[in-house]
Amino acid sequence: MQLKFTLFAFAALIAFTKPGVQAAEGDILTATKVFHTIVQQSPFLVDRTTTLVWTQSSSISDSATPTPN
């Protein structure tokens, strides 16, 4: 059990210290998610994927000034 925790902690440390993806305005990004799925035919356990594609845009936009109540 201690070994599993140590390996998980080490993997998390590497993941958190690695720089994230920095996309520029207009870049096209793709993410793929894998789902382990049980089916009724052999091999009974298959991988299914979902792919999401989007265009990077600025996350900050002008907002309307709130009106006082």
Which tens digits make up the pLDDT trace of 23-63?
667 788 899 999 999 999 998 999 999 999 988 776 665 56
Beta carbons within 10 angstroms of residue 56's beta carbon: 14
Assigned domain for 46 exists: yes
pLDDT band at 67 (very low <50, low <70, confident <90, very high): low
Provide the whole-model pTM.
Answer: 0.41
Assigned domain for 37 exists: yes
pLDDT band at 20 (very low <50, low <70, confident <90, very high): low
Structure token pair of residue 26: 């207009």
Count how many domains the chain has.
1
Assigned domain for 16 exists: no
| CA torsion, ordered 16, 18, 54, 31, to nearest 10 deg | -80
Q: Which domain holds residue 26?
A: 22-51
